Chains A and B, each alone.
Chain A
């Protein structure tokens, strides 16, 4: 009964700490919400800003040319189907276009050279279109590059057909044949229904939305980070009680030291479990995250609680006062969280050492367990990260609890 009373007292105190509530619940939901909001879109796919493209057409089609390829290119890029990606702005000269990019007024500039049409017709050598990108907007530059390259490929196809025809034929009609070949290819490409030749299949269980997927990973990471924070705060409440004098007072009552410390641990564990459950439910409702099957979810929660509580107890052995505890815990938890991969949960293509380094932290193993849970993995696949996470927590308790007893037990001047 005393154990429950002690735990209940701690729960009451923690629930009344505005800062703790902000850190335990507000911060992880806020951070995840920011990212969800950042990347949410109606299509479900990531979207970037519409790129303002300065277009300078210096093209001089040869006399009698049936096409003005520069103008055609501009019309292609201005098509309604590309309006969400590119907004074409005419700029008369190249220097002005470059200056616009340098000042950040446009995302990129495209400069069509004078021999563009001639190159398309195959009556001149290769021609090079210049794309001036804004170095501060590399993604936009990439998008414009891909769009322009596809458009140029379409033009090139006709020119290639003409060149190949000329290489393979001779005589007075070869030029006519070349032109005919070029026109047929261009026509064929224009008429084509764009048969894919490539089918895309998403693996079962993939998130339909980029933002939801990102939110799930970030929420998992932030939940782990802030549960560890709460675990450390729970352990350091012993310091606070020591400084407040209530710990000594507890020892004047007929309550055993093991009960006092046990009640503290129970209170912390219940707080952590509650925090995890609230975050899981809130994130499922707000962001539509599917956390996985019940049993793996339960085991992942238990493992996280044990790890966070144990780590907090271990950290406590290294601080003397509650004033020290705040920054010390902040630094250690931030560094171990970073190494554990909590800040890079959504990064792809991390350098090889990162994955290995994360395995040296309890947060890294917890993240692996939660990722598996999110992916709908079965218990067999989750067994290792779950077991290691829990084992690290138990190990921290085995080392930390005797140190804690020595620090906070009777006769220690408490």
Chain B
């Protein structure tokens, strides 16, 4: 079976830094696959190799069975870069027409695709306006549209919702879902757990260049064994004592030390029974707790469990 995206032992080094370290994954056709990881995990580097912008130092990557970076692979791929990559002094329509030509479209087909996509991303009324005058959200929508002109079978989006307003973000997420419903394989990178959770058929968690977990949302959450997450905010003076105070409590693990704001994250087998124990121990140790929140296991807790660090730094 030919996967839409297949990666075997892919690695990339920049000087002494290993950005991607022996990554294996396979994305089925029609799947919506997310790559989740904090900043610096290697997502963009991996994406760059899949898009053919970077030469791997090891392993191989295939797009629709074609070597990543080959002309055939690029013809199957629509890449939406993380930064808006459009010509600010050309109009929305001129940008699409140009990028369409770069994908080999011409004549009526090109014209129709431009018109369709402008309508889909809600920029039909601004088709003649220069992209430089657009808001951030509008630019991002057009940025996506430019990758879809040639009806790619695989669409790669590199953190497309960074730094935009919630409304535009919602619009983009809806559009990604629609793309996938219409048959495109979507390869989506993000450091937002909620996005990965909402969109994906499967998720790979990337940390320091390696895939540390891969599966559906439910499969990943089961890694933490359905443990509850307890978020504490401690009083300033107490923060340093808290770890020692809670260390030997049964069924409770901590993520290390409180951060500079006094936040401490704990994993508990059962949040309901853990709380009284925590308060009691806190009172005995003179640790003041200013706030507490209990949440069900999620990808954050998976990441925390696997790495000992928070997904969001």
Contacts and interface: CB of A to CB of B under 8 A. Distances in A.
A–B touch (CB < 8 A): the answer is: yes
Interface stretch (A10-18, A102-110, A311-319): A10-18
Main secondary structure of the interface of B (DSSP, over half): loop
Given A2-B102, A254-B71, A254-B103, A246 B86 contact: yes
B201 to A, nearest CB: 24
Given A12-B90, A13-B90, A410 B75 contact: no
Nearest to A13: B89
B91 to A, nearest CB: 9
Interface residues of A, number: 25
B103 A249 contact: no
B54 A411 contact: yes
Contacts of A414: 53
Interface stretch (B77-85, B112-120, B234-242, B270-278): B77-85
Contact of A16 (B52, B72, B89, B98): B89
Nearest to A252: B79
B53 A253 contact: no
A17 to B, nearest CB: 7
B51 interface: yes
Interface in B88-110: 88-90, 94, 98-99, 101-104, 106
A5 interface: yes
A12 B53 CA distance: 27
A9 B101 CA distance: 11
B90 A9 contact: yes
B85 A249 contact: yes
B77 A252 contact: yes
B52 A251 contact: yes
A252 B51 contact: yes
A252 B94 CA distance: 19
Nearest to A14: B89
Contacts of B90: 9, 12-13
A244 to B, nearest CB: 6
Contacts of A255: 102
Nearest to A253: B102
B60 interface: no
22 contacts: A2-B104, A5-B98, A5-B101, A5-B102, A9-B90, A12-B90, A16-B130, A244-B85, A245-B81, A248-B81, A249-B81, A251-B52, A252-B74, A252-B79, A252-B81, A253-B99, A253-B102, A254-B72, A254-B74, A254-B75, A254-B102, A413-B54
A22 interface: no
Given A9-B87, A245-B83, A251 B98 contact: no
A253 B98 contact: no
Contacts of A254: 71-72, 74-75, 102-104
B219 interface: no
Contacts of B55: 410-411
A38 interface: no
Contacts of A249: 79, 81, 85, 99, 146
A251 B89 CA distance: 20
A236 to B, nearest CB: 15
Name the residue in B81, B86, B101, B130 with the highest tally of chain A Cβ atoms < 10 Å from its Cβ. B101
Contact of A252 (B53, B84, B88): B53
Nearest to B79: A252
A1 B106 contact: yes
Given A12-B94, A252-B51, A410 B69 contact: yes
A414 B51 CA distance: 12
Contacts of A6: 102
A246 B69 CA distance: 17
A102 to B, nearest CB: 58
B89 A17 contact: yes
